[in-house]
Amino acid sequence: MNNLFAVTSGKGGVGKSTVASSLAGAAEMLGKKTLLIDLDEGLRCLDMMLSMSESIVLDLSDAFNGHDINHAIYPVPSHPLLYLLPAPAFYGRIDEGAFGEFIRESVSHFDIVIVDFPAGIDLRLYKQLPDTTRFLTVCNPDPVSVRDASVVSDRLSEIGKTDNRLILNRFCMDYIKSGVYKGIDDIIDLSRIRLAGVVPTDNQILLAQAKGKLIKRGKAAKSFTRIMKRLLGEDIPLPKPKKI
């Protein structure tokens, strides 16, 4: 079973970090010791989303410059099996080779490792990931975001990373009712990526983030749990669009 997941997106603002943290929370609630890694140098956000910004002293780059890596891995409050490795506060601090070595080592110490990559198609760090990595490309239902997801998928294929799944975030039925798409299958066909799951628009996510918490209830929370179970090998059917 793959236990290393790389969360990607073409454009920023699609909720990629929300997806990464929520999937990590879902894995933890399923009893999995989980490491969440923030790779967004200079624009890190997972520490704030998890109410941990004031406790961060060391980060990923410090771990590659003589510090014990364990001192840069922080337990997430109220989540006994969830840990965060924050990104550097400044851009350009991550050594590619050291990152690759750390990733290969980390998968033996955690049940699940989720890496939140920055948006875009700079794939230098992606190349350091093992071939067994499963990529999770996040997009919104708008056509531009779906097209960008297909571009990311193409770029990943070019460097030999072909185990890619689509997470459709912030979905609402208006896209189908208004005729933008006939159904979710249209979005899958346009992205040319196999679907991992669909997350509905849910204001509880925004409220939880404002409080620095992970969502535990509501439609979106249930969606993340279903997605994580699928990624762990369970056969979980996709609900009908109206019930997502």
Tens of pLDDT along 141-173? Answer: 999 999 999 999 999 999 999 999 999 999 999
Distance of CA 167 to the CA centre of its chain: 9
pLDDT on residue 1: 47
pLDDT average, residue stretch 192-200: 96
Opening angle at CA 37, ends 31 and 38, nearest 5: 135
Strand (E) or helix (H) holding 199: strand 194-200
Distance separating alpha carbons of residues 136 and 8, to the nearest angstrom: 6
Sheet hosting strand 34-38, strand order edge to edge = 74-75, 82-85, 34-38, 112-116, 4-8, 134-139, 164-171, 194-200
Query: Tokens in use for 144?
Result: 């531009």
Please give the helix or strand (H or E) that residue 194 lies within, else none: strand 194-200
